[in-house]
Structure 1
């Protein structure tokens, strides 16, 4: 079963994940609506780990055939697209 995570908890967990992914990156500077690619928090090489992080949190696979790169652009977008209860 999928764990229900609110927006603030998702933001906290994702920032922790980015800190582990990119040691030394100032995760406190990430605002929920910031473009993570423009900030340098994410890049094409980190996307596999991002998908695994989200799938572990969801307890389900993400359909990558329907999820464009824009779906991973910010904390807010990822939460709305993948986590937020429908």
Structure 2
């Protein structure tokens, strides 16, 4: 999935789970601080990401920083180790292979 496709799908999800007035968020918009995301919307966002990557998202440690903005989510969960868009489940398979 390209970055633009992700942004488009993510914005559609936000409009469904937490409608907001005004402009759509930009890739670097601070989603929490600007009111686009709250704790309830986060549950839907995690499920959305898990569907896209084909695995459970680990929310321990500093994983919450991946939810700061759309760019961080895409970079943290949808890119492979070479910085290319990863097919669903590819990150999980790479971690299994590398023992990470």
1:45 pairs, out of 9, 31, 40, with 40
Higher relative contact order (CA 8 A, sep 6+): 1
Unpaired runs of at least 5, structure 1: none
Q: Is the 8 A contact 1:71 1:81 kept in 2?
A: yes
RMSD of aligned alpha carbons: 1.6
1:34 pairs, out of 29, 34, 38, with 29
Question: Could you tell me how far apart the structure 2 residues matched to 1:19 and 1:7 are?
Answer: 18
Q: Does 1:59 align with 2:54?
A: yes
1:6 pairs, out of 2, 7, 17, with 2
What's the offset of the Cα at 1:28?
A: 4.0
Structure with higher helix content: 1
Across the two proteins, how many residue pairs are aligned to each other? 81
Unpaired runs of at least 5, structure 2: 82-100
What's the offset of the Cα at 1:66?
A: 4.0
1:69 pairs, out of 45, 64, 68, with 64
2:14 alignment partner in structure 1: 18
CA distance 1:61–1:67, change in 2 (3 Å)? farther
Name the larger-Rg structure: 2
What's the offset of the Cα at 1:29?
A: 2.9
